[in-house]
Amino acid sequence: MTTKRIAVVENVLSANDRLAEDNRRLLDSARVFALNIMASPGAGKTSLIEQTVQRLAAELRVGVIEGDLATSIDAERAEAAGAVSVQINTGGNCHLEAPMVRDALAQLPLNEMDLLIIENVGNLVCPAGWKLGTHLNVLVASVPEGADKPYKYPSMYNDVDILVVNKIDLLPYVTFDMDFFKRGVEILNPGVTTFPLSCRTGEGLDAWLNWLKTSVADFRSTR
């Protein structure tokens, strides 16, 4: 029974990965640089997307795919910030999957976009194992969550390309051992590019935005 269950899971993941490759080819052909943003609920994924869209509106054409269990609240926030957006309601699924993203891509004007940001379902477990076809995976951690998250959720921290540490404006007011946090991250993902910032005050956002603009320009220059 265990062997059969493992085989089924492997088959599902394999099928998902094939569709993720199709998604990547579609994005490449449209010259759209794509990010998969993951985090726990409340870490600030949507706030980061809002700030990114608003501050880069004059330079980049941004599309957003919002993944949530229910509601269209986050998609509406992305649209209000200036992005074209599509909402995916997973109906209880704790992560996005490549077929869901494929359907959402069909609703976006890819040829009129430079950057696609996918906001995954808020969760530090499920999203890590499911490829979507994006070019990079971004994890948003936040100071109020505590410094122990890399140790508790190693699979999430292990494979991300970019780490954003949000809500650093709260460091004077909460117990957060930054050195302990960084040691845990370094053990799992040595040298990962990290952006400490605050979406509320704007501190550190310029470094994130400059990196993003450079990444998009480099990507589009090779396509």
pTM for this prediction: 0.92
Burial class of residue 92 in the structure, from the number of CB atoms within 10 Å of its CB (0-12 exposed, 13-18 middle, 19+ buried): exposed
Confidence of residue 8 (pLDDT cuts 50, 70, 90): very low
pLDDT band (50, 70, 90) for residue 47: very high
User: What pLDDT score does 82 carry?
Assistant: 93
pLDDT (mean) for 86-104? 93
Domains of the chain (ranges; CATH) run 2-221 (3.40.50.300)
Q: What is the pLDDT of residues 119-169, one digit of tens each?
A: 999 999 989 889 999 999 999 999 999 999 999 999 999 989 999 999 999
Q: With bands split at pLDDT 50, 70 and 90, how would you rate the model's confidence at 38?
A: very high
- Here the tokens at position 20 are 């993720």
In which band, very low, low, confident or very high, does the pLDDT at 177 lie, cut at 50, 70 and 90?
very high
Q: Considering only CA atoms, which of 117, 119, 139 is closest in space to residue 128?
A: 139
- Coil/strand/helix, residue 127: helix
Is the Cβ–Cβ distance between 62 and 108 less than 8 Å? no
DSSP code per residue over 163-214: EEEE-GGGTTTS---HHHHHHHHHHHSTT-EEEE--TTT-TTHHHHHHHHHH
Report how far residue 59's alpha carbon sits from residue 37's, in angstroms, rounded to the nearest whole number. Answer: 21
User: Using CA of residue 208, residue 90, residue 76, residue 103, what is the dihedral sign?
Assistant: positive
Report the pLDDT averaged over residues 1-27: 76
CB of 131 closer than 8 Å to CB of 101:
no
What share of the chain in percent tops pLDDT 90?
87
Burial class (CB in 10 A: 0-12, 13-18, 19+), 222: exposed
Residue linked to tokens 């960084």: 182
For 99, the token pair is 């077929």
How high does pLDDT run on average in the chain?
93
pLDDT in tens, 209-219: 999 999 999 99
52-70 mean pLDDT: 95
| pLDDT (average), residues 100-128 | 96
CA 39 to chain centre: 7
The string of pLDDT tens digits covering residues 130-139 is 999 999 999 9
Q: Are 165 and 196 in contact (CB under 8 A)?
A: yes
- Say how far apart CA 49 and CA 202 lie, in whole Å: 13
Angstrom distance (rounded) from CA 98 to CA 115:
18
